[in-house]
């Protein structure tokens, strides 16, 4: 990653893809990602992820993004039940910018009604579905009114 200059110390940040790095120069610290999702810019603009500082396309076609480094950690299971996590997920799922980008990529959003219809058709067709799922579908049939 010579594009940052020689004064930068770059180390792998871990993760599933191996395309994430931490770049540090003195007190300045960046999160560098190679070929990140196009959703990153929208997530950054919506203040869901740390601020996107710049994007650079390399000669080989790779796209490098840099974000402000924020010390973080993995959420534990009990934290996933907290209202602040629900609020963040709600912000992501109600973002019109993310929806528009999703649709520009050729995708069609699914509504709760679409999901229920799909589950009902699987139950009607006799597909093997766990009893709790079938029970949930039955509850939704009686309580969900679009």
- Domain span at residue 126 reads 112-143
> Does 79 map to a domain?
no
Mean pLDDT for the stretch of residues 87-101: 88
Residue 52: other Cβ atoms inside 10 A: 19
Q: Lowest mean pLDDT: which of 66-75, 103-112, 115-124, 126-135? A: 126-135
Tokens of 117: 């219809």
> Does 45 map to a domain?
yes
> Does 74 map to a domain?
no
DSSP state, residue 77: G
Residue with tokens 């219809």: 117
How confident is the model at residue 127, as a pLDDT? 63
CA atoms within 13 A of residue 31's CA, in its CB half-sphere? 19
Q: Please name which of 20, 16, 58, 59 lies closest in space to residue 36, comparing C-alpha atoms.
A: 20
> Does 80 map to a domain?
no
> Does 38 map to a domain?
yes
Percent of the chain with pLDDT over 90: 32
Q: Is pLDDT at 1 greater than 60 in this prediction?
A: no
Residue ending a domain, choose from 16, 51, 68: 68
Question: In whole numbers, what is the pLDDT of the chain averaged over residues?
Answer: 85
The total domain count for the chain is: 2
How confident is the model at residue 78, as a pLDDT? 92
Q: Is pLDDT at 64 greater than 90 in this prediction?
A: yes
By CB atoms closer than 10 A (0-12, 13-18, 19+), residue 91 is middle
Q: Lowest mean pLDDT: which of 9-18, 52-61, 80-89, 96-105? A: 9-18
Q: Please name which of 67, 83, 61, 1 lies closest in space to residue 32, comparing C-alpha atoms.
A: 67
> Does 43 map to a domain?
yes
Do 63 and 34 meet the contact criterion of CB atoms below 8 Å apart? yes
pTM higher than the cut 0.75? no
Integer Cα distance of 91 and 56 in angstroms: 28
Helix H or strand E segment including 143? helix 131-143
> Does 123 map to a domain?
yes
> Does 89 map to a domain?
no
């Amino acid at each position: 990653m010579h594009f940052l200059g020689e004064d930068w110390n770059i180390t792998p940040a871990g993760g599933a893809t191996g395309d994430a790095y931490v770049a540090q120069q003195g007190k300045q610290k960046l999160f560098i990602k190679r070929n990140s999702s196009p959703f990153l810019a929208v997530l950054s603009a919506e203040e869901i992820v740390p601020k996107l500082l710049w994007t650079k396309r390399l000669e080989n076609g790779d796209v490098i993004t840099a974000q402000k480094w924020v010390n973080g950690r993995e959420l534990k299971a009990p934290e996933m039940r907290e209202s602040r996590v629900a609020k963040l997920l709600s912000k992501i799922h109600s973002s019109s910018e993310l929806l528009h980008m999703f649709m520009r990529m050729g995708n069609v959003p699914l509504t709760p009604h679409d999901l229920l219809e799909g589950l009902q058709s699987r139950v009607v067709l006799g597909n093997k579905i766990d009893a709790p799922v079938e029970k949930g579908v039955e509850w939704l049939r009686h309580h969900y009114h679009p």
